[in-house]
Amino acid sequence: MTAEEIFAGESDNVEFKEEIPAKSDRYMKTVVAFANGKGGKLIFGVENNTWNVTGFSKEEVFQKMDDITNAIFDSCEPRIIPSIGVQEVGGKSIIEVEIMSGMTRPYYIKSQGLLDGTYVRVSGTTRHAERYQVQELILEGQNRYYDCEPCEGLDVTSEDIAILCSNMKAMALRNTLTDAEKAKVKDLTQNVLISWGVLIEKNRTAVPTNAYALLTGKAQEQPMIQCAVFKGTDRAYFVDRREFEGSIQDQMEAAFQYVQEKINRGMKIQGMYRQDVYELPLDSVRELIANSVAHRSYLESGNIQIALFDDRLEVTSPGMLLNGVSIAKMKEGYSKIRNRAIANAFSYMKIIEKWGSGIPRIIRECNEYGLPEPEFFDFDGDFRVNLYRKSAPNINSEMMKEDSAQFGNPAQSGIAGMPDQEITIVRFVKRNGSCTTSQVTGLLGVKNRRARGIIGSLVKKNILKKCGNARNTVYLAGEHFPE
């Protein structure tokens, strides 16, 4: 048998070496990277690029196996126990060293220390682990989640908890379509938040976690979502850009509204009713943005970036895929939760599904839309999804003509003479049933005071009406709300 026949299909987690390096650190990096990831094999006696089998003599092969075993035992922390064997390939002896995925991560080279000596596998190569990756490996090795860890320097009162519970229920109701489903939305309590990991209990006192800080917009370094529209198919020239702050759920909703407003829209008539038709499936767009917020690494300080090009929508979130997760598995519906508390909260608010159905559904919807299959990239510490637009000019122009035909007469649309920002709010309320000041702040990319002023103008015109008090205030369609 040839090396190709034995190891074909495993190249991402197989590394070939012609000789055993005199300095063990040269291959020990790969050993700890395999242990920190999905495991893998080191094959000695095979040229790396050509797969030409050079092999070892029978007289030296067993001594070399002992040398490799001792080097791994002496160099790695925690201890890694390899499985070492000999294979005969083309009449020559090669040494196969199998490293299993470890349970007590992170593994590192003792002489280099924890931060400098930790390595991971990225796209078939061994790389030095970033600081955030080392932190994730530590938590993973202890079966802990960053978002469930206590948030240092943040205090919480029973009133704060009640407000969060109320706001989350309000969002759950907004994201629920039928009255029967709305009736199933249960009240949130402090104990439920504790069971999720949004809060933890210490000495009979509720303590906020990182998830609580992110869900309330109170994190010391609250991440944001950066959105931009670019001219062409690269980032050379941007047409528009916006940054959304606040709670992560409000950021997600605002970013989705931004994309919805920037992509092309047409319409079709079903019976007596007009139905908007967008060039991208909106459910898939929303799912991609929601997944980027729920599953990103919050240990990395970067922001989610959503870029709209002439040919695609690009969603990039900080943090590579977790150990044991691959793009192929994701397409089959496999999911592994990175942020347990946030996943529970988003599931309650009807923002995401917890069990991995999102990616297969996005692929299916794109196929039904006649779009290319989305592309997924796990690279350089980030994860990216490209959703391709309908690139044929006649398709976009037809959709725009349909849109123009419907809204060519502003008086018929019910929004004649309204400022663009007010129109944006009206469209948001039409879709969601209500809005809050924080949502408008993120939606328009303005300060809180400016958002209150615009909402106040709509209330005076009876386009919106105010319901609730203080932080529980929401705005609904008023008497003069456009049809």
Domain with 441, as residue range(s), is: 409-483
User: What is the total count of domains within the chain?
Assistant: 3
Tokens 């793009």 appear where?
A: 327
Q: Are 38 and 132 within one domain?
A: yes
Q: What is the pLDDT of residue 402?
A: 42
Q: Are 178 and 134 within one domain?
A: no
Report yes or no on 132 lying in a domain.
Answer: yes
Give the burial string for 318-348 (b: 16+ CB within 10 Å, else e): bbbbebebeeeebeeeebebbbbbbbbbbbb
Give the number of other CB atoms < 10 A from CB of residue 55: 21
User: How many Cα atoms occupy the beta-carbon half-sphere of 141 within 13 Å?
Assistant: 17
CA atoms of 416 and 436, how far apart (whole Å) = 24
CA atoms of 105 and 299, how far apart (whole Å) = 17
Peptide bond into 419 cis (omega under 30): no
Q: Where are the alpha helices (DSSP H) in 146-281?
A: 158-174, 179-183, 190-196, 210-216, 248-262
Report yes or no on 68 lying in a domain.
Answer: yes
Name the amino acid, one letter, at 37.
G
Q: Are 38 and 155 within one domain?
A: no
* Structural contact between residues 101 and 37, judged by C-beta atoms closer than 8 angstroms: yes
Report yes or no on 235 lying in a domain.
Answer: no
CA atoms of 416 and 409, how far apart (whole Å) = 8
Report yes or no on 482 lying in a domain.
Answer: yes
CA atoms of 325 and 435, how far apart (whole Å) = 37
Q: Are 153 and 129 within one domain?
A: no
Q: Are 122 and 52 within one domain?
A: yes
Beta strands in 114-158 (DSSP E): 119-122, 125-128
The phi and psi torsions of 67 (rounded to 5 degrees) equal -60, -40
CA 67 to chain centre: 43
Q: Are 47 and 126 within one domain?
A: yes
Report yes or no on 316 lying in a domain.
Answer: no
**Kind of pairing, strands 304-308 and 265-270?**
unpaired
- Mention every residue, 6+ apart, whose C-beta is less than 8 A from residue 356: 330, 333, 334, 335
For 271-291, the DSSP string reads TTEEEEEESS-HHHHHHHHHH
User: What single DSSP character describes residue 445?
Assistant: T
Q: What is the pLDDT of residue 9?
A: 43
Q: Are 91 and 36 within one domain?
A: yes
Q: What is the pLDDT of residue 433?
A: 82
End-to-end CA distance of the chain, in Å?
Answer: 73
Q: What is the pLDDT of residue 275?
A: 61
Q: Are 169 and 118 within one domain?
A: no
CATH number of the domain that 21 lies in?
3.30.950.30
By CB atoms closer than 10 A (0-12, 13-18, 19+), residue 59 is exposed
CATH number of the domain that 472 lies in?
1.10.10.10
Considering only CA atoms, which of 333, 348, 280, 286 is closest in space to residue 309?
Answer: 280
The phi and psi torsions of 362 (rounded to 5 degrees) equal -65, -45
CA 102 to chain centre: 25
Report yes or no on 362 lying in a domain.
Answer: no
Residue 178 parent element (H or E) = none
CA atoms of 83 and 350, how far apart (whole Å) = 46
Q: Are 136 and 175 within one domain?
A: no
Domain finish residue from 200, 216, 232: 216
The phi and psi torsions of 324 (rounded to 5 degrees) equal 85, -5
**Phi-psi group of 143: left, alpha or beta (phi > 0 → left; psi -120 to 50 → alpha; rest → beta):** left
- Mention every residue, 6+ apart, whose C-beta is less than 8 A from residue 84: 65, 68, 69, 95, 96, 97, 98
CA atoms of 284 and 362, how far apart (whole Å) = 5
CA atoms of 252 and 101, how far apart (whole Å) = 35
Low-confidence ranges of the chain (pLDDT < 70): 1-12, 266-276, 354-356, 391-417, 471
Peptide bond into 82 cis (omega under 30): no
Report yes or no on 245 lying in a domain.
Answer: no
User: What single DSSP character describes residue 155?
Assistant: -
Q: What is the pLDDT of residue 111?
A: 95
Q: What is the pLDDT of residue 253?
A: 95
Q: Are 130 and 158 within one domain?
A: no
Considering only CA atoms, which of 107, 103, 108, 115 is closest in space to residue 143?
Answer: 103
Domain finish residue from 141, 172, 195: 141
Q: What is the pLDDT of residue 267?
A: 59
Q: Work out the mean pLDDT of the chain and round it to a whole number.
A: 86
